[in-house]
Amino acid sequence: MNKLIITSMVMILTGCVTTQSSQSGGSELNKGSHEAKLAPERVYFSGMSNELATDALLVSLLNKNYMAKKIAPNSVGVQLGNHQFVLQPSLNPNGIDRILASRYYSVHPKLQGSQDLIAVLGSLNDKLNFAKFTLRDDGKVIQVQGAATFVDTLELEELRRFLIWTDDALDSVGQALPASAAEFIKPLPVMPIF
């Protein structure tokens, strides 16, 4: 049964998945405060360490009424719609800065250690370019990580749009999977829901 599900996932993902963002504008993630749309918030990271940048990012997100929480010295959890991301500033004083954005999924014990699951993730990494799919914690967790790049200054609106684009791409992956896949791979919360 597991091989059938995983084989179906590979076949569907190979032929059907696209990473184009939906233009409907009706997504919960697209809804933001009117204030956020009128006055884009900029976060100035110049000269900061990753730890200080994490604090600055958290304060800026909270000031714009995002549900966010510091979950590690270099990580902020943020709730967008029904989904949570982990954001990690990665600053480079002599080059391009990045915000790493990750989503995590728990893997059902029946699929943990499965070579077929490893093959599916490898196929996703070969076919898609919006994020990297990696197994963590001895195969118990799938991490999906993308990166938004900038130099010294980040606009929260650009970050929001990047997260929406990533979320839309993950929705496309999820829609391409058989319905039974949701029983084996589930979103993993990274912070308590407020």
Whether residue 14 lies inside any domain: the answer is no
CB atoms inside a 10 Å sphere around CB 107:
22
Spatial separation of the C-alpha atoms in residues 110 and 107, rounded to whole Å: 8
Query: Which carries the bigger pLDDT value, residue 33 or residue 153?
Result: 153
Q: Which of 75, 103, 91 is nearest to 149 (CA)?
A: 91
Whether residue 103 is contained in a domain is answered as yes
> Per residue in 3-36, pLDDT tens?
544 444 443 343 434 333 333 343 444 444 434 4
Collapsing DSSP to helix, strand or coil, 16 comes out as helix
Residue 180, domain CATH: 3.30.1460.10
pTM of the model: 0.78
Grouping H, G, I as helix, E, B as strand and the rest as coil, residue 82 is coil
* Average pLDDT for the chain: 81
pLDDT at 28: 41
Return the pLDDT at 11: 39
74 in any annotated domain: yes
pLDDT digits (tens, 9 = 90+) for 170-179: 988 888 877 7
Separation of alpha carbons 52 and 135, rounded Å: 29
- Average of per-residue pLDDT across 147-168: 93
- Six-digit token string for 56: 């600055």
11-15, 66-70, 104-108, 109-113: which range is least confident on average? 11-15
Burial-class residue 53 by CB neighbours within 10 Å (0-12, 13-18, 19+): buried
C-alpha 78/C-alpha 68 separation (Å) is 4
Question: Could you tell me the end-to-end alpha-carbon distance of the chain, in angstroms, rounded to an integer?
Answer: 37
Mean pLDDT, residues 144-154: 94
CA 112 from centre of chain? 21
Whether residue 72 is contained in a domain is answered as: yes
Residue 40 is predicted with a pLDDT of: 56
176 in a structural domain: yes
Residue 60 resides in a domain: yes
Q: Is residue 4 part of a domain?
A: no
Contacts of 51 (CB under 8 A, 6+ apart): 73, 74
Domains identified in the chain, total number? 1
- Who contacts 56 (Cβ-Cβ below 8 Å, separation ≥6)? 43, 44, 45, 48
The mean-pLDDT minimum among 146-150, 151-155, 163-167, 182-186 falls in: 182-186
**Amino acid sitting at position 130:** F
Phi, psi torsion values for 99, nearest 5 degrees: -115, 115
Q: For residue 37, tell me if it sits in a domain.
A: no
Please name the amino acid found at residue 162.
F
Strands 132-136 and 141-150: what pairing? antiparallel
Tokens of 138: 């001895």
Domain range for residue 161? Answer: 42-187
